[in-house]
Amino acid sequence: MSQPLLDVRGLRTVFETRAGTVCAVDGVDVSVQRGECLGIVGESGSGKSVTFASVMGLVKSPGRIEAGTILLDGCDLRGLTPKQMRAVRGKDIAMTMQDALTALNPALTVGEQIAEVFDAHDDTLPRRGAARARAIRDKSAEMLGLVGIPSAESRLRQYPHEFSGGMRQRIMIAIALACRPKLLIADEPTTALDVTIQAQVLELITEIRARLGMSVVLITHDLGVVAEHCDRVMVMYAGQVVEEGPTAEVIAQPQHPYTRGLLASIPRPALRGQPIQPIEGQVPDLIGLPPQCRFYSRCPLHRDACLAPVAMRSAGPNRRVRCILSGEPVE
């Protein structure tokens, strides 16, 4: 396997709160190959967003990255100064947020916000003056056109609130992709959108990915989205990765009881007439977690051996599971 584009090992991010230390991400390994689409599935408290906020260097006090290496194309992101990190953010790696309305600055026009990215990162533009402004404008209009917003030139002058939710999400994607990053992290890009708009936005991301040869990390709680758009999937629970592998395999044959429970409990027409088997209980409190399997209290298969820390095990080529009942230990 060639060197992955993004290689995160042993990431540990904590938050200090009055009630105690919350370990939001605990020993997470992520790798993203060039050109692939990785889906990250998890619920509240799983650590999926914090993991990638850490990669982007966006974790601020009272949170901090306690351990781990983050390599983007071989470059150690944790070792960069804030100034160097700013040069990377937006240029090599970009992120879109869930709520486009609050992520976009309501006081700036859309054109100004896309222009910010070019201004910060694009060295191919003329140095200054009207030529620079014009070049930026042209490139911005091109980006809006790329994401499917008609009459791009005139819309550059409009403000975010003048657009619908789906369009705002596209604008965020345009801003993220302006400098053709190698990696796009899309954090819940469709959660706040209607179903028909969701479909449009996901199609867009997939198209652009193919066209630009970009890697995409799709963070979502929706297994359906992952099933249709992601090559590989990583399931997270309570700050740890519990299962990972090619999407089709993970969905067809989930190895971890949590993944199985999730898949079995999603209400859908195919299950009409049968009672749902929900996963009982709740995500455990992330403060002061005992060193054992974190899914223990909700697992139908738990036993005494699960009361010790569980490491990732190999369950096939490219498949890993954090459960002693599946797979083989990794050397």
Partner 1 sequence: MKTLLKVDSLSKHYEGRRGLIGRLTGAPHTVVRAVNDVSFSVERGEILGLIGESGCGKSTLGRAILRLHEPTAGRVHFDGSEVTALDAPALKALRRRMQIIFQDPYASLNPRRTVAQIVGLPLRLHGLAASEDEARAITARICERVGLKANQLDRYPHQFSGGQRQRIGIARALVSNPEFIVCDEPVSALDVSIQAQIIALLLELKREMGLTYLFISHDISVIGYLADRVAVMYLGEIVEMGPVEAILARPRHPYTQSLMSAVPEVEASGRRARIRLTGDLPSPLHPPAGCKFHTRCPLALDICRTTAPLRETVGEGHIAACHRLGEDISLLEDGAA
Partner 2 sequence: MSAPPAPALLVPEAPQKAESIFHRNLATFAANRLAMASAVVVVLFVLMAVLAPFVAPHDPNETDLFRRMQPPAWLPGGEWSYALGCDALGRDILSRIIYGARISIFIGTAVILVATSIGILAGLASGYLRGWVDVVISRIVDILLGFPYLIFAIGLMAMMGPGLWNIILALAYKEWVIPCRVVRGETLVTRELEYVEAARALGASHWHIMLREILPNILSPVIVVSTIRMAHVIILEASLSFLGLGVQPPTASWGSMVADGRAFILEAWWVSTFPGLAILLLVLAINVASQGLRDAFDPRFQE
Residue 287 in contact with partner 1, rule: CB under 8 A: no
Alpha-carbon torsion (47, 49, 55, 61), positive or negative: negative
Residue 67 in contact with partner 1, rule: CB under 8 A: no
Binding to partner 1 (CB under 8 A) within 212-241 occurs at: 221-225, 227-229
Beta carbons of 20 and 287 less than 8 angstroms apart? yes
Q: What are phi and psi of 213, to 5 degrees?
A: 65, 35
The number of residues that bind partner 2 (CB under 8 A) is: 10
C-beta neighbour count of 313 within 10 angstroms? 18
CB of 248 to partner 1, least distance (A): 4
CB of 300 to partner 2, least distance (A): 5
- Sole window of 1-9, 75-83, 264-272, 315-323 interacting with partner 1 (rule: CB under 8 A): 264-272
Residue 200 in contact with partner 1, rule: CB under 8 A: yes
Give the helix/strand (H/E) hosting 220: strand 215-220
Report H helices in the chain: 48-55, 82-88, 100-103, 110-121, 130-146, 152-155, 165-177, 195-212, 223-229, 247-252, 257-265
Residue 277 in contact with partner 2, rule: CB under 8 A: yes
- Nearer of residues 151 and 277 to partner 2, judged by Cβ: 277
Beta carbons of 228 and 190 less than 8 angstroms apart? no
The number of angstroms, rounded, from the C-alpha of 221 to the middle of its chain's C-alpha atoms is 11
CB of 43 to partner 1, least distance (A): 4
Q: Which residues pair with 75 in a beta bridge?
A: 72
- Which does residue 251 touch among partner 2, partner 1, none (CB within 5 to 8 A, set by kind)? partner 1
One residue of 154, 164, 282, 318 binding partner 2 per CB under 8 A = 282
Which two tokens mark 52? 């990638």
- Which does residue 247 touch among partner 2, partner 1, none (CB within 5 to 8 A, set by kind)? partner 1
Structure-token match 């040069």, residue found? 87
Please give the Cα distance from 236 to 323 (Å, whole number): 13
- Nearer of residues 61 and 196 to partner 1, judged by Cβ: 196
CB of 268 to partner 1, least distance (A): 4
Residue 81 in contact with partner 1, rule: CB under 8 A: no
Residue 44 in contact with partner 2, rule: CB under 8 A: no
Give the helix/strand (H/E) hosting 232: strand 232-237
One residue of 74, 275, 317, 329 binding partner 2 per CB under 8 A = 275
Residue 280 in contact with partner 2, rule: CB under 8 A: yes
Amino acid at 107: A
Residue 62 in contact with partner 2, rule: CB under 8 A: no
Residue 278 in contact with partner 2, rule: CB under 8 A: yes
Region of 79 on the Ramachandran plot (φ > 0 left; ψ -120 to 50 alpha; else beta): alpha
Beta carbons of 236 and 225 less than 8 angstroms apart? no
Which two tokens mark 192? 């706040």
Residues that bind partner 2 (CB under 8 A): 275, 277-278, 280-282, 284, 297-298, 300
Residues that bind partner 1 (CB under 8 A): 43-44, 164-167, 194-200, 202-203, 206, 221-225, 227-229, 247-248, 251-252, 261-263, 265-272, 275-280, 282-283
